Amino acid sequence: MGATGEEDEKDDAPGLIDLDMGQFGSGTMNDPLRHAMGMRSAQDACKMRMWNSFPMLFQNTIFHGEQDETIKALRHGAPLSERLVRSKELKEMGNAGVKAASASDPSGGSGQLSAPKLATPSQEENAMSEQIQQVEQAIADKEKELRELRKQRTDLREARAELVQERTDASNERLNDLLAQGGEWAKQLEDAITNYEKAAGILRFVECVRLDWKNDDGSYKGIEDEWLEVDASALEGDDAEADEAKDLVTSSYLNIALASQKLGKFDQMKGACDEILDKINPTSVKALFRRAQARIGPVSAVDEDTDAAIQDLHAAAQLAPQNQEVRGLLVKLRTERKAQHSEDRSKFAGLFDRGQVVTNDPRTEVGAKLDPGKLDLRDPKVQRMLDIRPGPDDY
């Protein structure tokens, strides 16, 4: 055989089947690893729907129970009175962390880090800007003084640029100072959130009952719904201890929401409020109020978020009509939405008043014959009006 025969044998050799795998993703079987990983991820997502529906603060209880032997022992075998004592201790540790963070708050009490605004232009800068305009106008009017005026303009622009650069450098230096201070401040708040999670996690938690759910190196295997168990038995019942447990978990979640707000983590803040309202106390005024704050907190919040926040505040106002914080924010948001609606109506006024409405009813068209006996049944418009579809042999 010659070279051609060798090439034929090479083509006929066994190899990967080149199939169209469009239903699994893009590409072909020449990239089997990518398709296998995509299919595995989709399978895992189906097995972890309940787990993925939990907010992070509740997911973390599974790890607190594995990493802290004291919490694990309290959950299993300890009377509720002992669990309440340790829960209170952890909550107080969280409170101390928030107080420490407040004492070192680099935001000046606003609760959120933000870049300092540039200072307003000085009188000297304003005067320079005005003089530049005058000089530029003089250039057009006085050709004889063109060279000198251009020189003045250049000098003024350089001076203004120096002032702007000095102001920018000062602003950047201040921002760096805030970030340096914020590192410790944020850590204190994160530690406080962890303690609140542990405090609530003694009384309400999720566990994995799969015995071999850890790998040999201590890392966790996939957490699948079929192995998860939620325990909220400490909150069940109408006795004093159950009521105290509910109050402890609720206050811990509310404090998580508050600390998350200071850190600008509004999704986490809303998740904590959702847990209270959906799982513990649907009439919690504080949870409704803070969830409303979480909805409008992000810069990316849209009109639908504001409307949802107004609904939360309306529900809270019905539960606590005298709550000034609730009513104040509700009035503010309603006023803003009313102004927005007014602006939208003004902007789009008359947009839908132009043109003529087109119908399929020949009786409404100009010049149409209104006598039913004179309607042309071969006209498609008449057929649609009468809901008939005669064929050509019917005429």
- One-letter amino acid at 91 equals K
Q: Is 120 helix (H, G, I), strand (E, B) or coil?
A: coil
| Rounded-to-integer distance, Cα 324 and Cα 58, Å | 31
What is the arithmetic mean of pLDDT over 188-207? 92
Q: Is it the case that residue 294 has pLDDT exceeding 70?
A: yes
Q: What pLDDT, on the 0 to 100 scale, is given for residue 191?
A: 92
The answer to whether residues 153 and 135 touch, using CB atoms and an 8 Å cutoff, is: yes
Q: What pLDDT, on the 0 to 100 scale, is given for residue 42?
A: 72
Q: What pLDDT, on the 0 to 100 scale, is given for residue 296?
A: 93
Q: What pLDDT, on the 0 to 100 scale, is given for residue 395?
A: 37
Q: Is it the case that residue 198 has pLDDT exceeding 50?
A: yes
Q: What pLDDT, on the 0 to 100 scale, is given for residue 181?
A: 64
Q: What tokens were used for 375?
A: 């309607």
16 or 249: which carries more pLDDT confidence?
249
Q: Is the dihedral of CA 319, 325, 327, 331 positive or negative?
A: negative
Confidence of residue 131 (pLDDT cuts 50, 70, 90): confident
Strand partners, 20: 28
| Per-residue pLDDT tens digits for 37-53 | 667 777 777 878 888 88
- Ordered by where they begin, the domains of the chain are 283-348 (1.25.40.10)
The answer to whether residues 186 and 194 touch, using CB atoms and an 8 Å cutoff, is: no
The answer to whether residues 189 and 95 touch, using CB atoms and an 8 Å cutoff, is: no
Q: What pLDDT, on the 0 to 100 scale, is given for residue 111?
A: 57
The answer to whether residues 194 and 205 touch, using CB atoms and an 8 Å cutoff, is: no
Closest by CA position to 379, among listed 365, 242, 299: 365
**376 phi/psi in degrees, rounded to 5:** -85, 110
What is the arithmetic mean of pLDDT over 132-142? 75
CA angle (372 as vertex; 381, 368 as ends), nearest 5:
55
Q: What pLDDT, on the 0 to 100 scale, is given for residue 255?
A: 96
- Pick from 4-13, 53-62, 363-372 the range whose average pLDDT is largest: 53-62
- C-alpha 101, offset from chain centre: 24
163 or 213: which carries more pLDDT confidence?
163
Confidence of residue 150 (pLDDT cuts 50, 70, 90): confident
Q: Which of 3-7, 45-49, 316-320 has the lowest mean pLDDT?
A: 3-7
What is the arithmetic mean of pLDDT over 274-289? 95
10 or 158: which carries more pLDDT confidence?
158
Percent of the chain with pLDDT over 90: 27
What is the H or E stretch that residue 205 is in?
strand 205-208
The answer to whether residues 182 and 106 touch, using CB atoms and an 8 Å cutoff, is: yes
Distances (CA, A) of 99 to 24, 94, 106: 52, 9, 13
Q: What tokens were used for 269?
A: 């803040």
| Per-residue pLDDT tens digits for 104-124 | 766 666 656 555 555 566 778
